[in-house]
Amino acid sequence: MLNRTKMIAGLIAGVGIALSAGGAQAETLRLLTWGGYAPEKVVQMFKAETGIDVQVTNSNNEEMISKLRATGGAGFDLVQPSQDRISGAQGDFNIYKPIDLSKIDTSLFIPSLLEGTKKNTTYNGKVYGVPDVWGTSALTVNVKKAPDVKDYTDLCDPKYAGKVSYRLKRPTLIAFAFAMGMDPFAAYNDSSKYKVIMEKVEKKLISCKSNVKAYWSGGDALLNLMRSGEVVAAMAWDGSGWKLSAENPDIQTIAPKSGALGWVDTFALPRKTKNESAAYKWINFVMQPKIAAMVTAAAGNFTASKGSDAYVEASKRALYQKTFPPAAIDNIKWYPPVPSGLEDMEGKVLDHVKAAK
């Protein structure tokens, strides 16, 4: 750091006012990620250590793929799609660049999560993603006001009309399919079978519209709906429910009878990343246990950083253990890679649900 400071001082002395007038620019990492994955304090710590600014753009899976698809993989240096949204998108749109594992400190990762994510993001023999934050989609329920909500389809119970919420996104289609006694993952590679499942889910979700107060699109929107009491039960990320539990013990994250949906968000390189070096530095920085625990505090979910749970609040660990006793963990449905073309079919279903009266 001292040598770098001296170097900068020397440059300024050498070119004087002309340099400042010319607008020397700091190195920047353009990060496309989820809310809470790049807390401001962590960004500042990274800048202090590396001198690199981090330009954070919050997004979600659909937007990330859409942005990269529109630009052919340009515009960002590092992105964080879920592991099931990589190999299919790569096959369809060629938007990612393989990960150079030699530039990543793999000792920082939980081995099973790293190996599982490598396997699920491999395309044509190359790895395109390594794990970061993981968690589940489950139920967030005010157990005093909605005591009978035990599975996703209970959100359609007439007694909760106008007081439930979920996202109008593909996880909801998958979740309802499982709760209706079907196995959408088993039908992933049979488009005709999957279409039949989606048609049944479409009818269910259309019939359930009068129960929905609002389709939440971001974590903050859901938190506000639950805090205000406008919504008493929702399909939601487990971390959101745990945040609310800390404020109101009546609001809890519940593992659905049919199983929570397990997801892993990754680090992935856009095909036209301009600052690959900074991307690898960021990955190795935020996967340090103490830094990863700060991400957990902000995002609400645990990370794939080995040993970071030791730095997470004990109360949060207790909430996790209450939601997921061993049987509930065994019942988690982990997302497999999405086959090419499947999301187009799902998009039409979601459009039909949205347009239905």
Confidence of residue 349 (pLDDT cuts 50, 70, 90): very high
Question: Is 38 in the same domain as 156?
Answer: no
**What percent of the chain clears pLDDT 90, i.e. is strictly above it?**
75
pLDDT at 217 over 90: no
Give, for 20, the enclosing helix (H) or strand (E).
helix 17-22
User: How many other C-beta atoms are found inside a 10 Å radius of the C-beta of residue 211?
Assistant: 19
How many domains in the chain?
Answer: 2
What's the whole-number mean pLDDT along residues 148-160?
97
Same domain? For 67 and 115 the reply is: yes
pLDDT digits (tens, 9 = 90+) for 265-305: 999 999 999 999 999 999 999 999 999 999 999 988 889 99
Domain that holds residue 124: 28-134+263-334
Contact 31, 76 (CB under 8 A): yes
Q: Give the contacts of 100 (CB within 8 A, at least 6 positions apart).
A: 280
Do residues 232 and 277 both lie within one domain?
no
- Does any domain span residue 2? no
Region 47-52 average pLDDT:
97
Are residues 247 and 257 located together in one domain of the fold? yes
Pair 144, 255 in one domain: yes
Which sign, positive or negative, has the C-alpha torsion 162, 246, 298, 84?
negative
Residue 310 confidence (pLDDT) above 90: no
Q: Is the pLDDT of residue 341 over 90?
A: no
For residues 179 and 267, membership in a common domain is answered with no
For residue 23, what pLDDT is reported?
A: 42
DSSP codes of every residue in 64-95: HHHHHHHHTS-S-SEE--BGGGTHHHHHHH--
pLDDT at 343 over 90: no
Q: Are residues 268 and 206 in the same domain?
A: no
In terms of C-beta distances under 8 Å and separation of at least 24 residues, what long-range contacts does 39-43 make, across chains too?
39/294, 39/295, 39/297, 39/298, 41/294, 42/286, 42/291, 42/294, 42/295, 42/298
Residue 6 lies in a domain: no
Same domain, 116 and 155: no
The CATH number for 322's domain is 3.40.190.10
Question: Looking at this protein, which amino acid is placed at residue 138?
Answer: A
Q: What is the pTM of this model?
A: 0.78
In angstroms, the CA 155 to CA 163 distance is 9
Task: Quote the pLDDT of residue 316.
Answer: 84
